[in-house]
Each structure stands twice: as structure tokens, then as C-alpha cells.
Amino acid sequence: MTPQRTLRIALLGAGSVGSQVARLLLEHGEELSERSGARLELAGILVRDPDAPRDTELPRELLTTDAEALILGADIVIELMGGIEPARSHVLAAIRSGADVVTGNKALLATHGAEIFEAADQVGASVSYEAAVAAAIPIIRPLRDSLAGDRIVRIFGIVNGSTNFILDSMDRDGLSAQEAQRIATELGYLEADPTLDLEGYDAAQKAAILASLAFHTQVSFEDVHREGIESVTADMIADARRAGYVIKLLAICERLSDPEGGVSVRVYPALIDREHPLATVHGGNNAVFVEAEAAGPLMFYGAGAGGVQTASAVLGDVVSAARRHLAGGVGVGESARQSLSLAPIGRITTRYQITLEVEDLPGVLATVAGILSEEGVSVATALQTVEGEDSATARIVIGTHRASEQALSDTVARLAESSVVQRVVSVLRVEGE
């Protein structure tokens, strides 16, 4: 059947993702129209400077700097500008005008998601954001729709391709952190300012979105415990390899089973057994495990970055929005009504691997073990090596049994103050067991 109705699409942003979305809409418009049931017309593309050079050539007549006029004339608004403002204002204006919104803006949703979803509920608009987490991997829609009737216990995985590329290059190729970051920048994995990726901000924003969906509770970026990979060194990677582990930056969202209950949402570098499926996630790929009570464990794997890959997720949302627009009725609102409590990091239980430089003297290991015992932390493994024949320094690698984060943190603080410990070399959590 030939689609009879035309839906006007406004595209805000023409960066690496936006330009690919525009290209695919123009090149595959007829096919996308057949899938959605309406003719999809790209009405215009909002840019800062129509004359700026771009990697993808776009029709000059579609480029505009007039956001208000473009949004008011649209049925579907695609926001791919990034950042908070003016993206927030444009998205709210689109919702008030009655348009459906498709966005890939994780920072906006992790910070102002509640405001945006409430505005959409008031007018019956839909907000779709599959591209906000893990690029081409379909993870939002399964959590939002397919698993809505299940009870999700845990989400656990790699959601930042840039840091995964860096850590993987250090592990497999023996590169230093600086060299791996340089290559990542050259290949486009890292921006000129790499803080968003290296310090865990990007992964924490995605974790907030995933947790909000999984636990039907509003979780903002500020609620996420965040640690980045800035402190991970080549020596730490080598130590992990010798112990049978690989280091990955993980996002973890889980229901706590202790009497207080609630949920924990956190991002940090952790040790994963080399036999674990996440250990085999190489390059810029992402992988997310979802553990649900009825469905059991599910794994989602694929490209976690890239303009055309992310554009795939955006266009999937566009087709869905077009179908909803034709069918009529109100958009499907977010379910964030459980209001589960958000637990501080100190309440989680985990395992640590602690590497210490100590004086090479009799009784040092017993002193260290005594400190752990006094803090209620049990030693699972201990390996001591001497730096050299004439060295007065030894290295101890201690693996603990599971304990509360607070007890483990207090233990490390006491070890750092001990007279027999010269330096706490590294502290890493062990996950995935």
C-alpha cells in the first residue's frame, strides 16, 4: 500500500550521528515509509552554522538555525544535539507543540528525565531514546516493554566503548594508558576532552537510565556512585592478568537483598574472571547482562558507539513513533512509580583485591592479616613476592572474601596507615562471580 499521510520530521543536530540519520532518511525514505505506514519527510536540520564543513554532505536547503520554526512545524522531533541546553528547552518545546520526541541524549535524560517524561505525559506525547544507551544494541525497548512484567534483579555490563577500547588495548597489546588513549583519540573513540569517558560520567549517565527503567524508580545521574579508569595502570593490568582477571569499567544496577532493601547503582573499574563472557568483549563493543526473576539471565552485545550504528537505533524509534502517530491515542508513559530507596555504596557486598608494597620482614604478612581480621574481612588468597634479591620491599596481593563495602574500605584505610605498609598500590573490586 502507498502511504497516504505525510509526517514531518525535524532533526536537531548534524554531528556524527545526526548526519547519518539525515543521510539514511533521505536515501531510504521510501523503505522507511513503507515500514511506518506514512511518508516520512525530513523537514529541516537545525545547525549552528549552515556553512560549516561536515563529514557527510547534506542538502543546503534543509539546514536552518531557526529552532522554533522547525520544531513548531514537526510531527516528530529528533534531538541529537547532546548536552543539557539548549537541548532541554527544544525537547520541552517539541512536547508542548504535540510532537513525539526521539533522542539519544543520555546526559539530558539522566539529569532531567523526570521533567521531560512528566511533560510528555501531560500532553500524551511519546519520548523514545533507544540510542541513549549502547548505540545499536536494543536494550531500552526490552527493559521498557518486553520485561515490564518481570522483576529485574540486576543489570551488569560494559556500556562505554571508549574505555573498553582503552582497557582492552592495555590488556591484549600491552600498551600504557597514555598510548592506548592516544590511539583511541585518533580512531575517534575519545573526544579532545576525554573526561566524560575516562572519569566514568558517560557510563554513570547510562546506568541512571537503565536503573530507572529496570526498577521503575526515578534514578538521576547524581544518585550513581562513579569511579573512572584514570588510576588504572599497565602494572595493574599485568597483575590482573597474572591472577586470571581482566579489568573492565562496569555499570552495575541491582536490587539489594539485605533487610533494608533498595537498589544500588554504581560505575567503577573491576576485575572480571578471564572465563567470564564480559572478558571477551573487545574493542569498542558493549555488552549488558540483565538478570530477571522469571526470564533468567539475558545478554545484549554489539557495537556501543559509532555514528551509523547509533543512527540505526534512532531510526528504529522514528518508525515506532510514526506508527503511534498514525494509530492515534496517547504515548506510552514511563513507569517510575515504585520509588525504591537508593542505597549508598557502603551497603553493597563485594570482594576486593588489594595490592600492597610492604617491608620485607618476618611477620609482615601476619600483621596485614591481623588488620583484615580485626575489621571483619576474611582473606581468600594471599601472594607475596620480593621485588629483587637485595630489595627490602615485598609486594603482597590479597584477595578477600565477600564483605560490606564499608568494612573493606575501612580495612584499606587501616592498611594505608600501618607502619609495615609502604604503599597501597591498588584496590579493585572483583565482580561477575
Please give the average per-residue pLDDT across 2-9, as a whole number: 81
Confidence category of residue 90, pLDDT binned at 50, 70, 90: very high
Residue 86: asked if its preceding bond is cis (omega within 30°), the reply is yes
| pTM exceeds 0.75 | yes
The pLDDT tens digits for 340-375 are 899 999 999 999 999 999 988 888 889 999 999 999
CB 14 within 8 A of CB 45: yes
d(CA 92, CA 325): 18
Torsion of CA 260, 408, 264, 156, to 10 degrees: -130
pLDDT at 267: 98
Is the confidence at residue 336, as pLDDT, over 90?
no
In the structure grid, which three cell numbers stand for residue 348, read together? 553493597
Please give the average per-residue pLDDT across 314-330, as a whole number: 88
Residue 335, Cβ density class (10 Å: 0-12 exposed, 13-18 middle, ≥19 buried)? middle
Q: Where are any strands of DSSP class E within 136-232?
A: 152-158, 225-226
The pLDDT tens digits for 26-62 are 999 899 999 999 999 999 999 999 988 887 889 999 9
Is the confidence at residue 2, as pLDDT, over 60?
no
What is the H or E stretch that residue 158 is in?
strand 152-158
pLDDT at 292: 96
- Residues forming the active site: 206
pLDDT at 243: 87
What is the H or E stretch that residue 31 is in?
helix 29-36
Confidence category of residue 331, pLDDT binned at 50, 70, 90: low
